[in-house]
């Protein structure tokens, strides 16, 4: 299905072109017609399926169809700062032909620029729960005009203990709204939340949760004390583009990235012990190729979308099958191939 068939506001086609999208991905084809009609959506979508555009385009289309300007009208809640920034990048590209303003809201950085963005009339907010609640409670973020609410990666928000905050946010937005709910998995608490926030949703299930078929898997049995030596040897011998290495702990991420650095590679790390500034510059350097290797913990790398990742290496085994799927979903995105 071509994007022209969605009957989007003509101003959005400029952004679609800028993003380089021609044909819709399966989730876009399944979700967008209903979302554009204003239906609630519940989606089981794998990472890398194009789900962000599937909710961002209907939001932009609705905002362009009229209504008040320069007040928050769409709210996207996401589990991590990195994911919030990434969603905002998609918003900015797709909104290129419009005057719609967006803002990210999350903790770990000063609140003033975020308050300023709200004062400047941001209409789409992409927020992590904690800071958003602070700004709501302080009266800076006004929820009274929210028409569309998106809860993205709801299972991760549950894992990270955000569900009580998410419930408070849902209470703060008008009951009459369109809600889109995305989650890779549906543990009982997430299922319950979905039932509470959605009204007769259109169900979009993109198959069962499984690794993208574009990823090849390899397993190297190795005793712990030889892991680093094996990792360095693999990095030396393998023809790679960008490589993402996962460790279980922040400490280990730091240690492994130093070992890789000493072996002469361009490497950075992404984990919760680094400041927001360091995290942003690590991510930027990894995206633009300054560092072709990044060592990260699960939480830090949630939702990460870097096109050039050819290899994901699990230095430490993930705790759950879901975590494995999330990790290796960082490669093999949008029909590219990858190795795990």
Of the candidates 38, 53, 59, 105, the one whose C-alpha atom is nearest the C-alpha of residue 78 is 105
Site for ligand AMP in 212-231 (CB under 6 A): none
Rule CB under 6 A: choose which of 15, 32, 35, 52 binds ligand AMP. 52
- The span from the CA of 220 to the CA of 218, in Å, is 7
Does 333 bind ligand AMP (CB under 6 A)? Our answer is yes
Tell me whether residue 25 or residue 185 sits nearer to ligand AMP (CB atom).
25
Task: Tell me the number of residues near ligand AMP by CB under 6 A.
Answer: 15
Rule CB under 6 A: choose which of 192, 226, 321, 334 binds ligand AMP. 334
Site for ligand AMP in 276-305 (CB under 6 A): 305
Tell me whether residue 47 or residue 257 sits nearer to ligand AMP (CB atom).
47
Residue entry with tokens 């419009």: 98
Burial 28-63 (b: 16+ CB within 10 A, else e): bbbbbbbbbeebbbbbbbbbbbbbbbbbbbbbbbbb
- The span from the CA of 290 to the CA of 155, in Å, is 32
- CA torsion, points 59, 60, 66, 72, in degrees to nearest 10? 70
Minimum CB separation of residue 127 from ligand AMP in Å reads: 18
User: Phi, psi at residue 221, to the nearest 5°?
Assistant: -70, 130
Site for ligand AMP in 3-42 (CB under 6 A): 21, 24-25, 28
Minimum CB separation of residue 39 from ligand AMP in Å reads: 20
Tell me whether residue 50 or residue 72 sits nearer to ligand AMP (CB atom).
50
Rule CB under 6 A: choose which of 6, 8, 31, 50 binds ligand AMP. 50
- The span from the CA of 61 to the CA of 41, in Å, is 16
Using CB under 6 A as the criterion, which residues of the chain lie in contact with ligand AMP when the complex forms?
21, 24-25, 28, 47-53, 305, 307, 333-334
């Amino acid at each position: 299905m071509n994007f022209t068939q969605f009957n989007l506001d003509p101003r959005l086609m400029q952004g679609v072109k800028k993003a380089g999208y021609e044909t819709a991905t399966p989730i876009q084809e399944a979700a967008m017609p209903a979302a554009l009609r204003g239906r609630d959506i519940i989606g089981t979508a794998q990472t890398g399926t194009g789900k962000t555009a599937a909710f961002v385009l209907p939001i932009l289309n609705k905002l362009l169809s009229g209504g008040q300007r320069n007040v928050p009208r769409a709210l996207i809640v996401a589990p991590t700062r990195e994911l919030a920034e990434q969603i905002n990048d998609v918003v900015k590209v797709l909104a290129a032909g419009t005057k719609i303003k967006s803002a990210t809201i999350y903790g770990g950085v000063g609140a003033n620029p975020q308050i300023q963005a709200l004062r400047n009339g941001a209409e789409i907010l992409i927020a992590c729960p904690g800071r958003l609640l602070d700004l709501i409670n302080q009266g800076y973020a006004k929820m009274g005009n929210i028409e569309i609410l998106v809860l993205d990666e709801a299972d991760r928000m549950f894992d990270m203990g955000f569900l009580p905050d998410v419930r408070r946010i849902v209470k703060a937005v008008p009951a009459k709204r369109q809600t889109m709910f995305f989650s890779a998995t549906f543990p009982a608490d997430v299922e319950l939340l979905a039932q509470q926030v959605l009204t007769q949703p259109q169900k979009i299930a993109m198959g069962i949760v499984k690794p993208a078929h574009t990823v090849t898997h390899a397993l190297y049995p190795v005793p712990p004390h030889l892991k680093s030596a094996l990792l360095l040897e693999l990095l030396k011998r393998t023809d790679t583009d960008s490589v993402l290495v996962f460790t279980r702990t922040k400490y280990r991420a730091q240690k492994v990235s130093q070992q890789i650095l000493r072996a002469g590679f361009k490497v950075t790390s992404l984990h919760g012990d680094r400041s927001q500034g360091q995290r942003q510059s690590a991510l930027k350097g990894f995206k633009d190729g300054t560092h072709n290797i990044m060592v990260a913990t699960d939480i830090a790398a949630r939702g990460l979308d870097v096109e050039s990742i050819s290899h994901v290496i699990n230095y430490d085994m993930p705790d759950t099958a879901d975590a494995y799927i999330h990790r290796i979903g960082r490669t093999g995105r949008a029909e590219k191939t990858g190795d795990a």
